[in-house]
Amino acid sequence: MFRTRRALSSLPGPSSGDWRPLNFDGGAFHLKGTAELARALLVLRLCAWPPLVTHGLALQAWAQRLLGSRLSGALLRASVYGQFVAGETGEEVRGCVRQLQALGLRPLLAVPTEEEPDSAAKTGEAWYEGNLSAMLRCVDLSRGLLETPDLAGKNLMQLKVTALTSTRLCKELTSWITRPGASLELSPERLAEAMDSGQNLQVSCLNTEQNQHLQASLSRLNRVAQYARAQQVRLLVDAEYTFINPALSLLVAALAVRWNSPREGGPWVWNTYQAYLKDTPERLRRDAEAARRAGLAFGVKLVRGAYLDKERKVFQLQGTEDPTQPDYEATSRSYSRCLELMLRLVSHHGPMCHLMVASHNEESVRLATKRYEAGEWETGTHEKVPFLLLWQAGYVVYKSIPYGCLKEVIPYLIRRAQENRSVLQGARREQALLSQELWRRLLGGRRRAPH
Ligand SMILES: Cc1cc2nc3c(=O)[nH]c(=O)nc-3n(C[C@H](O)[C@H](O)[C@H](O)COP(=O)(O)OP(=O)(O)OC[C@H]3O[C@@H](n4cnc5c(N)ncnc54)[C@H](O)[C@@H]3O)c2cc1C
């Protein structure tokens, strides 16, 4: 979650057969300036204060009215924006990434796209086309960030499908895909063919307008993937809500048919799997098997899942069965199951399977590194598992960073804080480590040696 300096690059990489438990005790903080630490602590505390998160957007609008845009903007830049965002211009983003790189961290850029506005329905395709341009610029920026030859093909960026196609269409598609005896018209192969040929796709369960929007959306998705492939940037597609996820997975599967073949150097398009959904381990197993049978490379970003409260509310209202795990422990068991499966696949199928452990959870990261060290890996395979947020251990670590102007990024950050409310409230350990380090400095304690 910190903008910079989350890991020590000077430490040796992991060596087989010599596994030592990772130390998450905050030793990396010694690389941060005191002002940076104080800001991080302040921002974490603010984010853990529910009224601020709930009414963040309204408070921002008030602050702007009371203080004027310049002063309120300066305050935001000095706090939340400065803490979480890479910058606004290409130069600022590159500066932030250089700092990350000095610490052995790689960037995972995210275009901060908000939910589709009501007006998108009225303005037709224009909003989505604007987002397409932003995604293409993000590909360019990602490409330019890690240009050394040994890093070719290791640039990653996040892609939100609902920035390029409407949530309404995804909802409609989901309702058809999830029916028993779902229409074969909606197969990944058929959509991939329509993507490639650009010919008008006609799906009988959709009306004319929806068919046109589907065709335009496929074309946008294909353009991003094609450009990302050409620029050697891999796309990690976000998972969202259960009422649209099956449609998102269908679109990703169509992109995979086109762009994830080993001939193309795939996988260029990775899907995200949310462990908090009861059916995820089984779905992950099925998808991996389907990719293997189709001879396609398989890329997975594994998360616990960000939309728990909203998901549960919807299913309570509908009176239908809750698709989420009953408690945190069950989600963690599900995460471990998926992790074990993917680590096995990466180990057996080498470059055909890729995994990102997208979690801040120490236990999950420990499990991944322990298994990683358990001798099941071919030598030199470290690059295959880009662990996120692996502190101090010399693994390949990516850091997710949004970028953009204040006006675009602040609503995005507030929304993410609302979605991750429980995580932010639970970041007590991080707060404790930060304040411990700050007190140590204020009291003139000796600097701790890096682990
Ligand atoms: C790089 C990156 C990309 C991400 N991309 C996505 C994405 O595409 N889609 C997405 O949905 N999320 C995404 N997330 C967010 C992710 O799903 C989690 O919300 C976040 O990382 C916190 O989970 P954790 O494993 O890091 O931490 P932890 O604090 O260990 O876990 C918190 C998570 O546990 C689960 N949980 C908490 N309480 C309960 C409960 N009572 N019952 C059941 N489960 C519970 C929830 O999923 C909660 O978010 C991403 C995170 C990262 C770091």
| pLDDT at residue 47, as a whole number | 82
Ligand 1 near 305 CB (within 6 A)? yes
The residue ranges of DSSP E strands in 318-361, in sequence order, are 353-357
Taking CA atoms only, the protein residue closest to ligand 1 atom 32 is 423
Rounded to the nearest angstrom, the gap between the alpha carbon of residue 130 and the centroid of all alpha carbons in its chain is 21
What is this structure's pTM? 0.87
Look at residue 376 and tell me whether its pLDDT is greater than 80.
no
The atom of ligand 1 lying closest to the CA of 398 is 1
| pLDDT at residue 267, as a whole number | 94
149-153, 169-173, 345-349, range with greatest mean pLDDT: 169-173
How open is the CA angle 410-416-422, to the nearest 5 degrees? 135
Q: Render pLDDT for 416-435 as a digit per residue (tens, 0 to 9).
A: 887 776 666 666 777 888 88
Ligand 1 near 421 CB (within 6 A)? no
Ligand 1 near 425 CB (within 6 A)? no
Distance separating alpha carbons of residues 109 and 204, to the nearest angstrom: 37
Ligand 1 near 423 CB (within 6 A)? yes
For the record, the structure tokens of 183 come out as 């229409």
Q: How many CB atoms lie within 10 A of CB 90?
A: 14
The atom of ligand 1 lying closest to the CA of 307 is 11
Look at residue 8 and tell me whether its pLDDT is greater than 70.
no
Q: Render pLDDT for 241-293 as a digit per residue (tens, 0 to 9).
A: 999 999 999 999 999 999 999 988 889 999 999 999 999 999 999 999 999 99
Q: State the distance from the centre of ligand 1 to the C-alpha of 306, rounded, in angstroms.
A: 5
Q: Render pLDDT for 24-81 as a digit per residue (tens, 0 to 9).
A: 555 556 667 888 888 888 888 888 888 888 888 888 888 888 888 888 888 888 888 8
Question: Which of 180-184, 198-202, 295-299, 326-330 shows the lowest per-residue confidence on average (mean pLDDT)?
Answer: 180-184
HSE-CB for 399 with a 13 A CA cutoff: 25
Spatial contact of 324 and 278, defined as CB atoms under 8 Å apart: yes
| Higher-scoring residue by pLDDT: 312, 390 | 312
Q: State the distance from the centre of ligand 1 to the C-alpha of 202, rounded, in angstroms.
A: 37
Question: What is the average pLDDT value for the chain, to the nearest integer?
Answer: 82
| pLDDT at residue 289, as a whole number | 96
In the sheet with 353-357, reading across from the earlier edge strand, the strands are 353-357, 298-303, 269-274, 233-237, 155-159, 105-110, 397-402, 387-388
Ligand 1 near 169 CB (within 6 A)? no
Ligand 1 near 334 CB (within 6 A)? no
Distance separating alpha carbons of residues 287 and 103, to the nearest angstrom: 35
Q: State the distance from the centre of ligand 1 to the C-alpha of 45, rounded, in angstroms.
A: 19
Residue 270's beta-bridge partner residues?
A: 236
Q: Render pLDDT for 190-206 as a digit per residue (tens, 0 to 9).
A: 999 999 887 788 898 99
Taking CA atoms only, the protein residue closest to ligand 1 atom 9 is 239
Q: State the distance from the centre of ligand 1 to the C-alpha of 205, rounded, in angstroms.
A: 34
